Chain A
Amino acid sequence: GAGVSQSPRYKVAKRGQDVALRCDPISGHVSLFWYQQALGQGPEFLTYFQNEAQLDKSGLPSDRFFAERPEGSVSTLKIQRTQQEDSAVYLCASSTRTGVTEAFFGQGTRLTVV
């Protein structure tokens, strides 16, 4: 597609609910990143995929967070048993190479846990 697409744009979840956030990267982009951005802060790294391989998940805040990219294109970030502190904007980015060049970001999914 023309850019990185994320869905949904907005998600309100009740505490304890599971959510799934989707990212469609730019076609052909090898690298895919997930970031979490709190209000008034810069993005914080969550996880990185090179094709279908998850090479780094060191930024995932707990084992309630899980990400996959089974066919090396679309990725899903799943959060189980959501808690209020999970409220943030979740950003997905892709790039042609491993971070040496610019990253292209989606609009993000704003998750609010009530």
Chain B
Amino acid sequence: SQQGEEDPQALSIQEGENATMNCSYKTSINNLQWYRQNSGRGLVHLILIRSNEREKHSGRLRVTLDTSKKSSSLLITASRAADTASYFCATLSSNYQLIWGAGTKLIIKP
């Protein structure tokens, strides 16, 4: 069964705008990871945030984690057409098993 829930399920924005996606989960975690999936490249790891971290940056990506609310957000700034993809959060609660949400489908309009 899936632990995470991403919201929104789908998001369509203009190129250059910022995109924000949210993820909620149910159990305590070791870390939370965000992945991107498109038909060309499969699932690609974007960023990992540990349970004792609150915010992390990587290029145009900013991830926040609120363990008290069991939620995380992914912000993509200055979106590009190439950012069009599905974005998934995955939580690690045991030693090895990643539990995934259903994903947010992001469309960047030129």
A residues in contact (CB < 8 Å) with B: 31, 33, 40-45, 48, 50, 55-56, 91, 93, 98-108
| Pairwise interchain contact B97-A45, C-beta atoms closer than 8 A | yes
Contact for B97 among A99, A101, A104, A107, CB less than 8 A = A99
| Pairwise interchain contact B97-A56, C-beta atoms closer than 8 A | yes
The CA-CA distance from A40 to B9 in the complex, in Å, is 10
Interface range, B side: 20 to 34
Given A42-B103, A48-B96, A48-B97, A100–B43 Cβ distance below 8 Å?
no
Interchain nearest-CB distance for A91 vs B (Å): 7
Q: Would you call B102 an interface residue if the criterion is a C-beta within 8 Å of the partner chain's C-beta atoms?
A: yes
| Pairwise interchain contact A42-B97, C-beta atoms closer than 8 A | no
Q: Which residues from A are CB-within-8-Å of B2?
A: 41-42, 44
In B1-60, the 8 Å CB interface with A consists of 1-2, 4, 30-31, 33, 35, 41-45, 48
Interchain nearest-CB distance for A108 vs B (Å): 6
| Pairwise interchain contact B42-A106, C-beta atoms closer than 8 A | yes
B residues in contact (CB < 8 Å) with A: 1-2, 4, 30-31, 33, 35, 41-45, 48, 88, 90, 92, 94-103
Q: Which residues from A are CB-within-8-Å of B35?
A: 105
| Pairwise interchain contact B43-A99, C-beta atoms closer than 8 A | no
Can you identify 7 A-B contacts, CB atoms within 8 angstroms? A33-B98, A40-B103, A43-B98, A45-B97, A100-B95, A103-B98, A105-B43
Q: Which residues from A are CB-within-8-Å of B103?
A: 40-42
The CA-CA distance from A91 to B41 in the complex, in Å, is 12
